[in-house]
Amino acid sequence: MYPSPKYPMAQAILLSEEPARPSLSAIEAVTLVMGDRSMNVLEVLKALEAGTLTPASQDPRTYISFILSQNKDRFERDPSAGVGDYRVITSDWTVAHS
C-alpha cells in the first residue's frame, strides 16, 4: 500500500521507518560490542542498548550472562580485570553481516 492523503498515519509511519539493519545473532552482537575490551554483564548490556542491539529477552541481563558463561569457545573470564569480567578469546572471530 502506498502512502495516501486518505491515510496520513500510514504515510507518517512509512516515512519514519528506519532502514533494516543486518540481522546479528545475540552471540555475534556481544562479540561485536566487546571488541578487544574486558567487560562485565552490565557493561555489555549498556553497550548493546547504545547500539540498539538489546536481545529480545524478558531478562536481558541473565541472557547475556548465560551467553558469556556458556560460549567458552568465544568468551573467557579475564583474570586481570575485575570479578565477572569477560573478554573475547581471539580476534579471529568475525561477525557476519548478511
The one-character DSSP state at 18 is: P
Whether residue 6 lies inside any domain: the answer is no
Distance between CA atoms of residues 13 and 86, nearest Å: 40
pTM exceeds cut of 0.75: no
Provide the residue type at 40 as one letter: N
pLDDT digits (tens, 9 = 90+) for 45-88: 999 999 888 888 899 999 999 999 999 999 999 988 878 999 99
What are the phi and psi torsion angles at 47 (to 5°)? Answer: -65, -40
Cα Rg, the chain, nearest whole Å: 18
Whether residue 68 lies inside any domain: the answer is yes
Q: How many domains does the chain have?
A: 1
| Host domain of residue 40 | 22-88
Q: Which residues contact 62 (CB under 8 A, 6 or more apart)?
A: none
Whether residue 8 lies inside any domain: the answer is no
Cell digits of residue 9: 498515519
pLDDT digits (tens, 9 = 90+) for 12-28: 444 444 444 456 788 99
**Domain containing 80 — which CATH number?**
1.10.10
Cell digits of residue 63: 541472557
